[in-house]
Structure 1
Amino acid sequence: MTDSAVPKHAQDLDIFDEWPDGLRAFFDGSSLATKIGFTASLVTNDANGHLRTSLLGIGELYVPDSRRLCLALWPQARAARALAQNRRAALTFVFDEAFYQVQLAFEPLPVVEGAEEELKALGGLVCFSGSIDTGEAQRVRYARITSGMTFELAEGKDATFERWIEQVEYLKKAAAQA
């Protein structure tokens, strides 16, 4: 079928089991200030079988290698409870004019040896490492996805940003130790 014979409403679907280079670079924990506003949706399944969505910012996500994603969650977050229980989730977001959905299998990250006080200072975060089962990037030919959910840091933005830097640094250590 030639390009002119492909319907304009056709969808392009890229399937992957390793992070594409652009995403791996985006989630590498660097230049967080330029990525403020990025929002990902973590969809988990709770104890009652209900799907729940948690919104995550760039300071809660880190990709240490081609197949993993590390998360830093508040210990009281329902996503933390759901991941501890069933260890499966989907991460969805918009990046580079595409809608991404990544299915992951999670394991808790052990506390970094000698960093108990650092973790306590960060609010007792619960950290997980997820391995990609499958990922999809969807694009349509008739439109460009220009953004997904985005946010702006409000009161306490400097403190939030500093916490994100510390959280991602902790995730880097935990991922390296795992």
Structure 2
Amino acid sequence: MSDSPAPERPLEQNVFDEWPDAVRALFDGSSLATKTGFTASLLSVDTNGHVRTSLLSVGELYAPDSRTLCIALWPHARAARALAQSGRAALSFVCDEAFYQVQLLVAPLAGVAGDDTGLVYLIGSIDTAESQSVRYARLTSGITFELEDEGRVVLDRWKRQIEHLKQAAAAANR
């Protein structure tokens, strides 16, 4: 029998039901140009049981409060159809040196006047969520990207999308 202390758990798991400050700042819809490259993976399951993945940027995600996330998807995306059917999704991403996985309950969100993007808007509430990190390694990024030649055009589109998400979220809370 050993008198040595039990080894420390290398994996730190944090369960939450409200967005941590760093995540809320990431999804606040501001300073989009400084957040380019961030990618979140939105997972859904269609009626055939197939997992569908949509890779989303900060221009497609907006957290209007501490427990909600608004999402903009292209209507032809398989994930948009799957979410309309199941109402459930998982969002995975890296932020603040940790891996996050958030289970969301998702519902349609009405569009806003003057929005000609054709995007589908969804509103999700946190069902269960956790972050994971380890003491011996720092997560520095997840899936990342760089904007190419039309980067300014994309940033302008993201700003419009976030404004539409903000308006739709505000209308849903009335």
TM-score range, shorter chain: over 0.9
For structure 2, the 5+ residue unaligned runs are: none
Are residues 1:143 and 2:137 paired?
yes
Q: 1:6 to 1:138 in 2, by over 3 A?
A: farther
Q: Aligned pairs, how many?
A: 169
Counterpart of 2:7 in structure 1 is 7
2:18 is aligned to 18
Partners of 1:85 and 1:75 lie apart in 2 by 13
Whole-angstrom CA distance in 2 between matches of 1:167 and 1:84: 20
Q: Does 1:155 align with 2:149?
A: yes
Q: Distance in 2 between matches of 1:13 and 1:88?
A: 22
Percent identity among equivalent residues? 64
Which string of whole-angstrom CA distances, capped at 9 and with x for unpartnered residues, describes residues 85-111 of structure 1? 111000000001000000000010012
Give RMSD over aligned pairs. 1.4
TM-score (norm 1): 0.91
CA contact (8 A) 1:9 1:141 kept: no
Distance 1:81 1:26, change over 3 A: same
What is the correspondence of 1:21-170 to structure 2 with a 5 Å cutoff?
Answer: 21-112=21-112, 115=113, 118-120=114-116, 122=117, 124-170=118-164
Structure 1 stretch displaced more, 43-52 or 162-171: 43-52
* Runs ≥4 residues deviating over 6 A: none
Partners in 1 of 2:24 and 2:5 — Cα distance? 35
Deviation of 1:164 (Å):
0.3
Counterparts in 2 of 1:5 and 1:170: CA distance versus 1, 3 Å: farther
Q: 1 CA distance for matches of 2:77 and 2:60?
A: 13
Q: Shift of residue 152 of structure 1?
A: 0.4
Gaps of 5+ in 1: none
Question: Partner letter of residue 119 of structure 1?
Answer: D
Alpha carbons of structure 1 residues 13 and 76: separation in structure 2 relative to 1, 3 Å: same
Provide the TM-score with structure 2 as the length reference. Answer: 0.93
